[in-house]
Amino acid sequence: MTAENIDRSCGTVFLVDDDEGVRKALGRLLRAHGFTVRSFDSAVAFLRTFPATRPACAVVDLRMPGMSGLTLQECLNDAGSTLPLIFITGHGDAPVADSALEGGAVAFLQKPLGEGQLLDAVGRALALHDRREARPWREGDASRSGRVHGPEGADGRRSGAERHEPPAAERVAGMAQR
């Protein structure tokens, strides 16, 4: 399994869910599997402290007060972030799932979560982030993100991606201020 192949001790999982019980439980589960976990109770809180850690991924609740999971994805994509996202939701809403996957989400998981499913998704996400860091930003990545961007915007982000995450983090933090 892909999940078993990665070195978990160096992987960080950002957990973004407004429900404290879910946050605590998923955090405990992921930590039990050796991941480093950082929890946030809202998308805005996450963006505000957007950590430039590698390799990392974010497990994001789709439905949250204030900024929703999809909006967060939009923000990150707009800022040129390469952070892989895994969506979790209580609603098996197909159009929303499609939209999330088109936006570059690694997985779209139904609550309650299967342990294997979650670990597999997290493993793949971390591996993806690891790879994204290792190679420069490519046109294919932008198209995979599913966002409709002009070539100028893609170019701008590419230069940011080449200089790795920090510039994206700055942009994201700027977005969070709005």
Partner 1 sequence: MSSPTEPAGFLEGAPLVPVAISTDTGDVTYVGPQAVELLGYSIEVWMEPGFWNARLFPDDQVSVAQARERLVAGGESHTIDYRMEHADGRILWLTEVMALERDGSRIQGFLQDVTERKRQEVALWKSEERLRSLLRLAPDALVLTEEDGKILNMNDQAEALFDYRLFEVAGSCIDHLIPERLRGRMADLRGAFDRDPIRRSLVDGHGLAIERSDGTEIPVEVGMSLVSEEEGSRHILCSVRDLTTRRRVEAQLRSSERRLREMANVVPALVCFIGTDERFRFVNDAYAEWYGWERGHLEGRRVREVVGEEFHRRLHSSMDAAGERTAAHFQCEIQTATGHRRPVDVSIVPQFDDDGLRTGHFVVMRDITSEVEARQSDLRHRAELAHVSRVATMGELTASIAHELNQPLTAIVANAQAARRLLHREAPDIEEVSEALDDIVADGRRAGEVIASMRQLLQRGEIQEEQVEVTGMVGEVIELLRSEAIGRGVHLSTRSPAGGLPLVMGDPIQLKQVLLNLLMNGIEAAARATSDSRCVEVSATLDGAEIEIAVRDGGPGLPANSEELFQPFVSHRPGGLGMGLAISRTIAEAHGGRLWAEPRKPVGAIFKFRLPI
Examine residue 95 and tell whether it contacts partner 1 (CB under 8 A). Answer: no
Binding mask 9-48 for partner 1 (x = CB under 8 A): ---------xx-xx-xxx-xx-xxx---------------
Instruction: Determine the Cα–Cα distance for residues 75 and 139; give it in Å rounded to an integer.
Output: 19
Of 81, 90, 78, 37, nearest to 59 by C-alpha is 37
Determine, following the binding rule CB under 8 A, whether residue 173 of this chain makes contact with partner 1.
Answer: no
How far is 127 from 110, CA to CA, in rounded Å?
22
- The answer to the question of residue 66 lying near partner 1 (CB under 8 A) is yes
By CB under 8 A, tell whether 1 contacts partner 1: no
Stretch that binds partner 1, among 60-68, 125-133, 137-145, 157-165 (CB under 8 A): 60-68
Answer yes or no whether residue 65 interacts with partner 1 by CB under 8 A: yes
Our CB check for partner 1 shows the closer of 168 and 176 to be 176
Task: Give the H/E segment covering residue 109.
Answer: strand 107-110
Lookup: tokens for 139:
């046109």
Residues numbered 113 to 132 that lie near partner 1 (CB under 8 A) are 113, 115
- Other Cβ atoms less than 10 A from the Cβ of 61: the count is 24
* 63 is a site residue for partner 1 (CB under 8 A): yes
Question: Is 64 a residue that touches partner 1 (CB under 8 A)?
Answer: yes
The alpha carbon dihedral of 146, 151, 128, 36 has a sign of negative
Distance CA 16, CA 58 (A): 7
Q: Which residues in this chain contact partner 1 in the complex, by CB under 8 A?
A: 18-19, 21-22, 24-26, 28-29, 31-33, 63-66, 68, 88, 90-91, 111-113, 115
